[in-house]
A = this chain, B = another copy of it.
Amino acid sequence: MIGFFILVMTLIEGSFFVQEPAMRVVAFFSGGESATILLALFALIVAAKLLAELFERLRQPAVIGEILAGILIGPSLLNFIHTTDAAGAATTTGIVIDSLANIGVIFLLFTVGLETRPSELFKVGKLATSVALLGAALPFLTGWLLILYWPGGHSHIEAIFTGAAMVATSVGITARVLSGLGLISTEASRVILAAAVIDDVIGLLVLAVVSSLASGHVNYLQISITAILAVGFTIFVVLVGAKAVNKIKAPVEALRINHSLFIFSIILCFGLAAVANFIGIAGIVGAFLAGVALSEASDDTDLHQQAQALTEFTTPFFLVNIGLKLNLAVFLSPQILLLSVVVTVLAIITKLIGCGLPALTLGRRRALQIGVGMAPRGEVGIVVAQIGLGLAAVSDAMYAVVLFMAVATTLAAPPLIKIAFANESAVDRQADGRELHYEIH
């Protein structure tokens, strides 16, 4: 009890309990800065899961609760967790949470990949490419033109950056919602996942061109090489990866170290994520492909449950971290708020149309599912805005607008996904035996 009292006191005062020099040494011994970090991680998980439970009870997606938990404990409201110092530099706590968030979204996409057979990706390849292409082009052009003609004299480069920030889908959010509903294996989910991988590559190429424009020099050769490497890497892993993994499964399992297949999977996951990073595409694409390569080999093993445990522990950091980035105080300005809402609405509508149109061949219902599934921008939009800010191509106000759009599309998507998949889900759920969990809601 005393311990918990101290904990609460410390949370409230935001300072160490022990102030005597000798005791501060003791605090350091038992962690010091890592004591603060430990407390931050604890507070983060508790807040995330309390709000997740609340949202489940309100029959809303838990994902929203976890992102709102970030807004709640972040700089906007309670200010419990300090990820940046007064000068705006990342604190140690901020670095650790960022890293766990990155690891979290990597494991999340890896787990989703584990549920995805290579053959299933190929089946939807063509359609997914059209979905990704039109779903990138429409938001980009809309964002560009909107900011160019919006009152306030925004520069051309700022308009282009806003367009670029509206391109890339945060597949992590959609994947989390769909797997939470037990819907990761539906046809629409396959298209969404495949399209999101392609969309990510497109988004990065657009960003490369846009950033080059901002710095006044575009190296088309280098960008072409990245594009070729990215496409080649993806096709290579999907084509050859699964076969290679199936072949080396037996030797890996024969290794002396404990849980060798699980260890091998982690290594493959981080390895392909690192390769993806160095090619110039997002690490999560590599992690997803690692999961796909392992999907056949993981049957009848503990791998699913083990990967799930890592995902359960780390995903809250990814979700809460999105909320932590947002400081609501900026939106007290009505102009910024208005533009933010307009950009957000257009970001959703353009993905809905851009991704939905090519998917109409599957029927209106599937088109709608795919459209809303591609809507959340999440961490991807935030990073684009940060780059624009770093290159001085984007003003503080426009940074806030893009940040709002990224978080708001992410918050809006889960309920839309739930609605779009409503009846679908009941059928699927009965097929895989998860109906009981759902009926409670």
Contacts and interface: CB of A to CB of B under 8 A. Distances in A.
Nearest to A106: B38
How many copies of this chain does the complex contain? 2
Interface in A232-290: 232-233, 236, 255-259, 262-263, 266-267, 270-283
B270 A41 contact: yes
A305 interface: yes
A92 interface: yes
Interface stretch (A27-35, A116-124, A342-350, A352-360): A27-35
Contacts of A236: 1
A307 B310 CA distance: 9
Given A22-B219, A226-B26, A98 B267 contact: no
Given A30-B283, A312-B262, A95 B98 contact: no
A229 B2 contact: yes
Interface stretch (A134-142, A209-217, A396-404): A209-217
Contacts of A279: 3, 6
Interface stretch (A52-60, A145-153, A191-199, A365-373): A52-60
A99 B56 contact: no
Contacts of A312: 258-259, 262-263, 306
A274 B258 CA distance: 30
A26 B208 contact: yes
Given A3-B278, A53-B256, A279-B6, A99 B96 contact: yes
A103 B96 CA distance: 11
A207 interface: yes
17 contacts: A2-B229, A6-B278, A20-B219, A21-B211, A22-B217, A25-B211, A26-B207, A26-B226, A29-B387, A30-B276, A35-B274, A37-B102, A38-B102, A39-B274, A46-B267, A53-B256, A56-B257
Contacts of A276: 3, 30
The residue in A46, A211, A281 that gathers the most chain B C-beta atoms within 10 A of its C-beta is: A211
Kindly state the interface size class of chain A when it binds its partner: 35 or more
Nearest to A23: B222
Interface in A269-325: 270-283, 302, 305-310, 312-313
A275 B277 CA distance: 38
Contacts of A17: 278
A440 B256 contact: yes
Contact of A271 (B25, B42, B222, B278): B42
A328 interface: no
Contacts of A233: 2-3
Contacts of A219: 20, 22-23
A56 B207 CA distance: 47
Contact of A258 (B96, B180, B277): B180
Contact of A277 (B31, B99, B226): B31
A180 to B, nearest CB: 7
Given A26-B204, A440-B256, A277 B38 contact: yes
B387 A23 contact: no
Given A21-B217, A27-B277, A309-B310, 13 more contacts: A3-B275, A20-B222, A29-B387, A30-B282, A38-B102, A41-B270, A46-B271, A53-B256, A53-B257, A56-B257, A96-B96, A307-B309, A309-B309
Contact of A34 (B99, B256, B305): B99
